[in-house]
Amino acid sequence: MKGSEMAASPVRHECPEALLVLADGTVFRGRAFGALCAEGTVATGELVFNTVMSGYQEVITDPSYAGQVVAFTYPHIGNYGINAADEESDHPQVRAIVVRDLVHRPSSWRAEGNLEDYLAAHGLGGISGVDTRRLTRHLREAGAMCCALGVADEATLHAAARAEPGTEGQDLVGSVTTKTPYRAGSGPLSIVALDYGIKRSIVAGLAAHATVEVVPAATPASEVLARHPDGVFLSNGPGDPAALGGLVDELSQLLAKVPIFGICLGHQLLASALGGSTYKLTFGHHGGNHPVKRLANGVVEVTSQNHGYAVAADSVSGADVTHVNLNDGVIEGLAVPAMRCFSVQYHPEASPGPHDARYLFAEFVRMMQGAA
């Protein structure tokens, strides 16, 4: 549906009351929506909060959110509907969402449907009417934790939350990576992108400069080099980087042989291949408003972020720290010029924004051209 057709949408029946129960026993009340309206239907996952004011569809379809339930701090979600152009993958990747107010009748000329129907069509849903301010304050103090939500009794949901493994120690990349290689772009440079859960907007950012071949995460280094790329890109993705030793081993065989650029999980895996270590953040960085300082010139960039793990300070010997998070000092960028590799923890493609860091794609191009 588009535009004025939205006004003709049928009046929705109110969904039943539902509960969100955290692993520590904290309970939040609301109403189920989407596929969670069915009695006894329960969704579980690691609960995190995201502070974006727009871009909820990009968040929901970001493969980095595999295994997680996302609570939006912005109170009105669904207000401009959904459309195919905003999808970061071919289906929602979250387990469920938690919102204060779910908008059933979106208002936007771009809208092709509403958020609840979109989630329900994929067998997903969430809970609305939740005091998301209280929930966010709790997660900031107690940390991200597993949860369960649905139309079920408190004891059932608490048991389900406690049984959920979360993301720590989990290899979730295999569930989101492409099964077969595919190409995008037609530029003179060639890039092999290792897909750990790559977003479509990242592929578009690379394809604006080069011919990109996206390959499965487990592609051996020998096969990557056999393609004779001008550069290798390491994508974002879900789960714990410490659980991806096999991918790190292959990546270590690419160092100093070809220019490398990593984003998010790709940043963590590059640091690991360089001898560094990672750790789980208390509640992660999820939002579109994180200030990051670029140490080379002191410029502060407003960045889009989505990660629950970070590179440990001083763990990567021989690497230059290029960016730091001004909120908590987390390493946001690394570079080893002698090996022609660099990475950032945040998302320079930043669909739908901000776009302060898109210059990094041009820096990768200069590196591949031998100018950096």
Catalytic residues: 264, 347, 349
CA distances 148 to 40, 165, 290, Å, are: 12, 12, 28
**Strand ranges across the sheet with 260-263:** 182-184, 210-216, 189-195, 231-234, 260-263, 341-344, 331-336, 320-325, 278-294, 300-311
Tokens 């960028």 belong to 333
CB 304 within 8 A of CB 370: no
CB 48 within 8 A of CB 284: yes
SS3 assignment, position 276? coil
Q: Which two tokens stand for residue 136?
A: 């966010």
SS3 assignment, position 7? helix
SS3 assignment, position 15? coil
Look at residues 157, 188, 175, 259 and name the one whose alpha carbon lies nearest to residue 217.
175
Residues pairing with 336 in the sheet: 341
| Rounded distance between C-alpha atoms, residue 29 and residue 211, angstroms | 49
CB 320 within 8 A of CB 336: yes
Q: For the residues of 108-152, what is the DSSP string, one character each?
A: -TT-SB-HHHHHHHTT-EEEES--HHHHHHHHHHH-SEEEEEESS
The set of residues, in sequence order, having a beta carbon less than 8 Å from that of 63 and lying 6+ positions away, is 88, 89, 93, 176, 197, 198, 199, 236, 237, 238
Q: How many CB atoms lie within 10 A of CB 228?
A: 9
- The alpha helices in the chain, defined as continuous H runs, are 56-60, 115-121, 132-142, 154-163, 200-207, 221-226, 245-252, 265-273, 359-368
